[in-house]
Amino acid sequence: MMSFVGTIAIATAVLAFLVSMSIHKIEEGHIGVYYRGGALLKSTSGPGFHLMIPFVTSFKSVQTTMQTDEVKNIPCGTSGGVVIYFDKIEVVNFLSPDHVYETVKKFTADYDKPLIFNKIHHELNQFCSVHSLQEVYIDLFSDIDEHLKNALQTDLTTLAPGLFIQAVRVTKPKIPEQIRKNYELMEAEKTKLLISVQHQKVVEKEAETERKRAIIEAEKVSQVSKIQYEQKIMEKESDKKIADIEVQMQVNREKSMADAAYYKVKTEIEANKAKLTPEYLEMIKYEALAKNTKIYFGNSIPSMFSDNFLTLSKSDNSVKDEKKKI
């Protein structure tokens, strides 16, 4: 009885061990690929718990989300024979879940070694071999990452269509110490030159600003003078117009006065002409005789009356003559 219970216990333990060995977990963002007897199976599995035959089937988890592969300490020989080292190049990439089986079948689960790591070494050395140290270290350094990305993606489109390169980041390479010091001195001189050039530009800019300010001030003075000149001309023209108006008013006034005087004289003449009738003149004559209060005695009285009569007659005739002239 005890041996039977022990057998059951051993069997249960073995079964539990086999079940634990057959259960495996695939993390989110990964695809599981399976090998049986070293051969890759076509079946794959997604995230979660899965079962497999223990000791016969094995699995590997392949990441299908964005990942960064770091390629470190890459030697590179320039066209001038100088060997430099890139400490680290980062390649951001991801594998499409639909292409996991084909990629793993061709390049194993460690597909990034032949497709990315080896390719980075090859392309970087190809680039350095046709460029000088100056170009690699300074002039064309900003183009290296784009060059590597394009070269990798071109090959991957043919070899592994489901693998995509998102970005490539290249660190500054290490160069021999003496050359580095020379570059630092050169950069210091360039900095001094840039400072000198910038100072010259500032001086030129200040001079240009001062020149423009002087031009603006001169234009302002000129415009003010022009405005004042035009204002004086307008004042003179206004004074002339006022004087012309006053003269015209004076002429009109004199003309009006002359017309009034003429009208007055004409009216008086017409009135006198209407009054100087023979009867009126006769009446005036006798009124004048009547107003003479002097009495003369002697023989000359007739002659006095005669003289007065002649005088009155002459006055009457002169009035008639004036009337005719009018």
Q: What backbone torsions phi and psi does residue 12 show, to the nearest 5 degrees? A: -65, -40
Which pair of tokens denotes residue 286?
Answer: 């006798």
Residues 44, 30 contacting (CB under 8 angstroms): no
Per-residue model confidence as pLDDT tens digits over 159-205: 999 999 999 999 999 888 888 788 778 777 878 888 888 888 888 89
Which pair of tokens denotes residue 180?
Answer: 């580095």
- Residue 298 three-state SS: coil
Q: What is the DSSP letter of 216?
A: H
Predicted confidence (pLDDT) at residue 305 exceeds the cutoff of 50:
no
Per-residue model confidence as pLDDT tens digits over 136-159: 988 899 999 999 999 999 999 999
Rounded to 10 deg, the angle between the 278-290 and 301-325 helix axes is 150
Q: What is the DSSP letter of 98?
A: G
pLDDT (0 to 100) of residue 323: 44
Predicted confidence (pLDDT) at residue 122 exceeds the cutoff of 60:
yes
The span from the first CA to the last CA of the chain, in angstroms, equals 186
pLDDT (0 to 100) of residue 20: 66
Residues 74, 120 contacting (CB under 8 angstroms): yes
Cα–Cα distance for residue pair 46/28, rounded to 1 Å: 8
Distances (CA, A) of 163 to 100, 116, 123: 9, 10, 18
* 223: CB partners within 8 A, 6+ apart: none
Cα–Cα distance for residue pair 153/159, rounded to 1 Å: 10
